[in-house]
Amino acid sequence: MMKRLPLGKAFTLMESGPVVLVTTRYGGKSNIMTISWTMVVDFTPLFAMTTGPWNHSYAALRRSRECVIAIPTVDLLDRVVGIGTCSGADTDKFKKFGLTPVKGKLVGPPLIRECLANIECNVIDIVKKHNIVVLEGVAAYYDGSRKEKRTLHAMGDGSFVADGRKLDRRKMMRSKLPDGV
Amino acid sequence: MMKRLPLGKAFTLMESGPVVLVTTRYGGKSNIMTISWTMVVDFTPLFAMTTGPWNHSYAALRRSRECVIAIPTVDLLDRVVGIGTCSGADTDKFKKFGLTPVKGKLVGPPLIRECLANIECNVIDIVKKHNIVVLEGVAAYYDGSRKEKRTLHAMGDGSFVADGRKLDRRKMMRSKLPDGV
């Protein structure tokens, strides 16, 4: 079950560079794209992602100025790749990939129930010169009841790595962590 | 031993979102910062990273318009965290952390011999509004002789995850991969 996560912790969902699904909604249609070109830009949180007119979702993103970043886990890999290799122009991806849209609180595009985490975002800027979209997270959710919590990282050559061993350096890092994290 | 990697494959070094070390050089002094807020922006390759005046390296980056992205592995974790929690203003980080600077071919900042991969970069733009620095990779190196190849991913809370199990989806992804990758 998805529970609200304090916004001040939402950047931690993206910091490790996982492959994400990004949902958009425009003209009564929801769509999903797979993207790994993202980064955190600020703890508040702000995120950047690289996308442009070559993605069908870009028009919806530009027009609605909203999206949801949904973070999938290892068990969803084939759906993540499938979503990334077909187009919303001719496919209802929620239907095709058996994913459940969940209404968000603050934005129109849906959360994805099957994902580990979801972040509702507003588009606050598009740096056209570099195809960089800047997003502000406005609500975040985490499904702590899910057994599989390993996220995926794309290697860029068609292979992926799952999260492996966890290494704790919280004490050494304390001076660099924002309050409450 | 570091060997040249074709530039067309350099984006694959960064695609998974690893924690990286970024070296700069200005006024005869080399420095290193730890950064996980990076992303690929283009296959050519272009990268974006978030940094600003709060990092001592930023002045060198802005003035020299050059840097090297060095990609460390799990065995270097304590040095990666150490580098990220002290300042080049009062510390020679190569010396303090026992890292070996290696002269690059095309830029002034040094590669780091102990890292798995290095990418020489030019700063091609700074999007001041968002503290986003856009980099063009101009030479890339990979040390395939290294046994430990697992990179690190920051969780943002002072913990890290190492690369885990590798999952091959090259066939499914073929249509999305650039030639030669």
Strand partners, A26: A29
Token readout for B168 is 């091959």
Contact check, Cβ <8 Å, B132/A131: no
> Which single residue is written with the structure tokens 């979702």?
A57
Among the partner-chain residues A18, A48, A158, the one whose CB lies closest to the CB of B170 is A158
pLDDT at B1: 81
Contact, A1 vs A143, CB < 8 A?
yes
- The residue among B117, B118, B78, B124 whose CA lies nearest residue B98 is B78
Is B115 in contact with B151 (CB distance < 8 Å)? no
Q: What percent of chain A has pLDDT over 70?
A: 100
Contacts of B50 (CB under 8 A, 6+ apart): A39, A40, A41, A42, A48, B35, B37, B38, B130, B131, B132, B133
pLDDT of residue A94: 98
For chain A, give the percent of residues with pLDDT over 90: 97
Contact B169 A12 (CB under 8 A): no
User: B6 — contact with chain A (CB < 8 Å)?
Assistant: no
The model carries a pTM of: 0.97
Note the pLDDT of residue A1: 81
Query: Does B90 touch chain A if contact means CB atoms closer than 8 Å?
Result: no
Give the whole-angstrom CA distance, residue B115 versus residue B18.
12
SS3 content of chain B, % helix, strand, coil (to 5): 20, 40, 35
**B45 preceded by cis ω (within 30°)?**
yes
Could B41 and A50 be called an inter-chain contact, meaning their C-beta atoms sit closer than 8 Å?
Answer: yes
Q: How many other C-beta atoms lie within 10 A of the C-beta of residue A129?
A: 9
Per-residue pLDDT of chain A (181 residues; tens, 9 = 90+): 899 999 999 999 999 999 999 999 999 999 999 999 999 999 999 999 999 999 999 999 999 999 999 999 999 999 999 999 999 999 999 999 999 999 999 999 999 999 999 999 999 999 999 999 999 999 999 999 999 999 999 999 999 999 999 999 999 999 889 988 9
- Please spell the DSSP secondary structure of A2-40, one letter per residue: -EEE-GGGTHHHHTT---EEEEEEETTEEEEEEE--EEE
Q: State both tokens at B101.
A: 């600077």
Residue B167 to residue A19: CA distance in whole angstroms: 13
